[in-house]
Structure 1
Amino acid sequence: MRDPSRPISIDAVLLGRARPYTRPGSVSAIDKRPADGVVRIETLGLVGDEQGDLRVHGGPDKAVHHYPFDHYARWREDLGDLDLLKAAGAFGENLSSQGLTEDEVCLGDRFRIGTALLEVSQGRQPCWKLNDRFAVADLARRVQATGRTGWYYRVLEPGAVRAGDAMALEARPHPQWSLRRLGTLLFERQLDPAQLHPALDLPLVPSWRKLLETRLQRAEVEDWGKRIEGPGRH
């Protein structure tokens, strides 16, 4: 396992514009392209970046999306040598790097990225737009099952970033809670109170807290169909 206290580099900073997407009435900015030069990071994300559906994307707790380029080799093994997988941006990420994955990153980690200070707020819950982007009907489900989800940041201190800037860990308040562990709890449909209760002590985003509390109350797992399969696929 890589030492997360050692700085790594941001290899690409990516931005996207919201455009009509694949299904009637849908809009997406998942098609991110590398930015040239310095990009400002503000409370709601990178200046010049957009989100297609603000009900489920963007906002302070999903201001910046980071996806490890480390995963691309595995996706090429799984999906073939697709053009989408030849460069960063296939998964709609804003930041791309190598050397740090969900196994090493923990909830609440604070990273200095360029001059901005970002805090890991949650792992990504993949949606149907990935299925359509790759023309693979179950890709969102596969992203979730593999744990190769990437993660989101909230912005604690605005700043600026450009490709080649360092990413350095400044604080780790929850070292026992890697995103891999938390993702396993959520995505492997865990209902064991002994596993769920400790997670509720974490600074979870409201939607994740509600999800775990509902599991404890009802002793059942939520339906993911709408998120993973999207409109018109039931």
Structure 2
Amino acid sequence: MNTLTTTIGRLFAGGTGYLDNEGHRSGIFKREIFDRVRVDSQGILGDEHADKRVHGGPEKAVHQYAEQNYCKIAQAFPRSASLLVPGSLGENISAPTFSEKNVHIGDIFGVGTAVFQVSQPRSPCWKINHRFGEERMSVYVAQEWITGWYYRVLVPGEIRAGDTMTMLERQTDRFSIEQFWQVQLSHRPSLDDLAALIAVPGLAPEWKRRLEERTKWLRALLDKVT
């Protein structure tokens, strides 16, 4: 296994803003952070989320988005190309080389003086569409499996742009973020694939619950057929 290493290119955090004239508040609007910042179990100190039912908390403490994905989205949505820059999808960390293809569920990274663990992919929502005025951007991001991912913070510490991110431990060689979506978005994934994904150490409890429910539904469906 090759050790994944990169450097934080840019770091983002901040308060909430309004997406449109209807007054939808969102934490997708981040400002760039140049100083060293504290990170604890809730995320970067000073970062905010408008809807805490689905954003933030220990299992979504820090969000990273693959820098190279912006070029792909810009090609699909050329009208918004000038706006598609690191930080514009609401991520906290932008860094080269890490992507949904090589970052795996449960991966543990040393980041500055902190330690992070990949807990789950991001599930893109309608707020991306409203942010850019593009009806199907969130669908495109989901279908292309270029969603980004979340970390939980195992060891609080301090981080800043320029800090190295080094993989300390890998829990599964099988389930990258991309491979997670390949199973999750399959019309009828195999029960073996679901069981293997559920068993990955570090997968967020909410995703384990959802995958277990899907497993039960598929088993019931197969029992009816047989």
TM-score with structure 2 setting the length: 0.90
Match in the other structure for 1:131: 129
Share of identical aligned residues, percent?
Answer: 36
Match in the other structure for 1:168: 166
What is the 5 A alignment of 1:187-202?
A: 187-202=185-200
**In the alignment, structure 1 residue 99 sits paired with structure 2 residue 90:** no
The SS at the match of 1:167 is: strand
Q: Deviations over 1:174-196 (max 9, x none)?
A: 12221111111112344421321
Match in the other structure for 2:118: 120
Match in the other structure for 1:206: 205
Match in the other structure for 1:36: 34
Q: Distance in 2 between matches of 1:94 and 1:127?
A: 17
Match in the other structure for 2:224: none
Shift of 1:48: 1.3
Q: Residues 4, 150 of structure 1: CA spacing in aligned structure 2 closer, same or farther, 3 A cutoff?
A: farther
Match in the other structure for 2:216: 217
The SS at the match of 1:152 is: strand
Q: Residues 91, 4 of structure 1: CA spacing in aligned structure 2 closer, same or farther, 3 A cutoff?
A: farther
The SS at the match of 2:175 is: coil
What is the 5 A alignment of 1:5-24?
A: 5-22=3-20, 24=22
- Kindly provide the amino acid, as one letter, of the partner of residue 206 in structure 1: P
- Contact 1:42/1:158 (<8 A) preserved: yes
In structure 1, the gaps of 5 or more residues are 221-234
Taking only aligned residues, the RMSD between alpha carbons, in angstroms, comes to 1.8
The SS at the match of 1:14 is: strand
Q: Distance in 2 between matches of 1:172 and 1:138?
A: 34
- Kindly provide the amino acid, as one letter, of the partner of residue 29 in structure 2: D
Q: Residues 137, 4 of structure 1: CA spacing in aligned structure 2 closer, same or farther, 3 A cutoff?
A: farther
The SS at the match of 1:174 is: coil
Q: Distance in 2 between matches of 1:38 and 1:32?
A: 16
Match in the other structure for 1:72: 70
Pairing partner for 1:57 from 35, 55, 58: 55
The SS at the match of 1:82 is: helix
What is the 5 A alignment of 1:152-163?
A: 152-163=150-161
Q: Distance in 2 between matches of 1:187 and 1:52?
A: 27
Runs of 4+ off more than 6 Å? none
Shift of 1:126: 0.7
Q: Distance in 1 between matches of 2:23 and 2:82?
A: 27
- Kindly provide the amino acid, as one letter, of the partner of residue 174 in structure 1: T
Q: Residues 189, 39 of structure 1: CA spacing in aligned structure 2 closer, same or farther, 3 A cutoff?
A: farther
Q: Distance in 2 between matches of 1:11 and 1:105?
A: 17
- Kindly provide the amino acid, as one letter, of the partner of residue 125 in structure 1: S
- Contact 1:123/1:151 (<8 A) preserved: yes
Shift of 1:30: 0.2
Q: Distance in 2 between matches of 1:60 and 1:23?
A: 31
- Contact 1:4/1:105 (<8 A) preserved: no
The SS at the match of 2:38 is: strand
What is the 5 A alignment of 1:82-97?
A: 82-85=81-84, 87-97=85-95
- Contact 2:171/2:200 (<8 A) preserved: no
TM-score with structure 1 setting the length: 0.87
